[in-house]
Amino acid sequence: MSSRSASENSHSGDEKSENEDKVPNISSAEVAEKYKTAARITNDTIKTIQSKCVGGASVVDLCQEGDNLIIQKTGEFAKKATYKKGIAFPTCLSLNGHLAHFSPLKANDVCLKNGDLVKLELGTHVDGYVAISAFSFVVGASKESPATGKKADVILAAYYGAEAAIRTLKVGTPGQSVADIVQNTTAEFECKPVENMLFYAMDQNKLEGETGILINGSVEGKKDHSQPDVKEFDVYAVDVLVSSGKGTCRPTELDTTIFKLEQVHYSLKSKRSRHFFNYANTQFQFMPFNLRYFETDENNVSVAQSVLPKLKTKDNKPIEVPDYVTCKMGIKESREHGLMTQFDVQQVEEGEFVAQFKFTVFVHSKGPERITFVDFDPSLYSSQHSITDEAINNLLKEKIDLSKKKKKKKPAGKATTNPSGDAATAPVPVQS
């Protein structure tokens, strides 16, 4: 909202007052294009990183390469722009039964193995307008040797749950109806959405907006949550996390590496903490960042020093990058006083798996428009289950691509993914 007071606005006339109070949204061509620019970078980056997810690949190297690509691509765009642009969510590669947010420190690096179920997530922002995406796949799965069992079940459940959810995001739809379609679709594969996950309606500089649609809410989760109706010009992060088990989760012992500053005012006591906070506030503002950026390599140089944009004070003096120990101290004190949120790694029950598909979606009066896509091929996953609910199958056939470009028709019955992200013709798994 405008920071101008009612008395100040009254001097400018009613028409100006109304314009001052308008919050920028996707009805503005400029705002929509910033979202779509961020989406193009997200789409390109997630495709590049997924192609490198092979057996033996380092998770740390892949995560850092994803972040570096986003920084490089946003740096090439609108070089003279005064607004911020860059990483909206650090690249994460969460494995098997872990939910999300695994982007480890160097000391905790792991290598991918054939058969790992990987959740790849990352996001880009341009002037605070976020395009985020996530994609699940099994390392080494192919048409000749598709993934089977619980891994196939949970990936297909999450994929079709997300596809169905997007198609319900129509103006006036009750949020609970969106949640129900996710629940019903995943149940077709004998899977469950992870409890208390939210589809956030995002705003400028807000990865998690003021409202969100609660998916598979627990009794406690539902108590204080009011499901919103879908509104025109909403921008949703459709985030479908599905478990092959009960849908409940618990903390892991893995180190938390991803943090985000909050809009809370407090004067930190330690000089080193204040140095860290001022740097993080200037560099990242309210977007998440990874503690790994401040680890040094064999040459005693950190990613923050070598890759992140160089910062200067108002009088054009360079802002020194805090060292790793200073960051740890700053994070600890900031958390103690509510200045920071952390993104922990959680997990489901032993022996169960989690899959995630996440898309950024515009809500228009004529229907939803997805702007982040993934190159997903359902034929790589062989499940004994199929979608038998006629209403869900009909919903999945609805077209959601609002672009004006004409697309070539694909041969009937060919199980391939439309690169535009339009899953209207995506094959529903056949009962084997």
Residue ranges of the chain assigned to CATH 3.90.230.10:
29-254+345-396
CB 200, CB 225: distance < 8 Å: no
| Closest CA relative to residue 432, chosen from 394, 386, 395 | 386
Q: Match domain 29-254+345-396 to its CATH number in 3.40.50.261, 2.40.30.10, 3.40.30.10, 3.90.230.10.
A: 3.90.230.10
Distance separating alpha carbons of residues 95 and 117, to the nearest angstrom: 6
pLDDT tens for residues 196-245? 999 999 999 999 988 999 999 988 888 888 999 999 999 999 999 999 99
Tokens of 40: 């193009």
List beta partners, residue 343.
258
Distance separating alpha carbons of residues 283 and 312, to the nearest angstrom: 10
CA angle 166, 215, 25 (to 5 degrees): 50
Q: Helices (DSSP H) in 169-239: which residue ranges?
A: 175-187, 219-223
Q: Does CATH number 3.30.1360.40 belong to domain 258-343?
A: no
Angle formed by the axes of helices 324-336 and 271-283, to 10°?
90
| Closest CA relative to residue 56, chosen from 137, 111, 106 | 111
Angle formed by the axes of helices 59-76 and 29-51, to 10°?
150
pLDDT above 90 covers a percentage of the chain that reads 80
pLDDT tens for residues 78-126? 888 889 999 999 999 999 999 999 999 999 999 999 999 999 999 999 9
Q: Coil, strand, or helix at residue 6?
A: helix
For the purposes of burial, counting CB atoms within 10 Å of the CB of 432, is it exposed (0-12), middle (13-18) or buried (19 or more)? exposed
pTM: 0.88
Query: How many C-beta neighbours within 10 Å does residue 11 have?
Result: 9
Q: Please identify every stretch of the chain with a pLDDT value under 70, giving residue numbers as ranges.
A: 1-22, 401-432
Distance separating alpha carbons of residues 303 and 100, to the nearest angstrom: 22
Distance separating alpha carbons of residues 158 and 152, to the nearest angstrom: 10
> Can you give the C-alpha Rg of the chain in angstroms?
22
**DSSP symbol at 100:** S
Tokens of 180: 């129900």
Residue ranges of the chain assigned to CATH 1.10.10.10:
258-343
Please name the amino acid found at residue 17: S
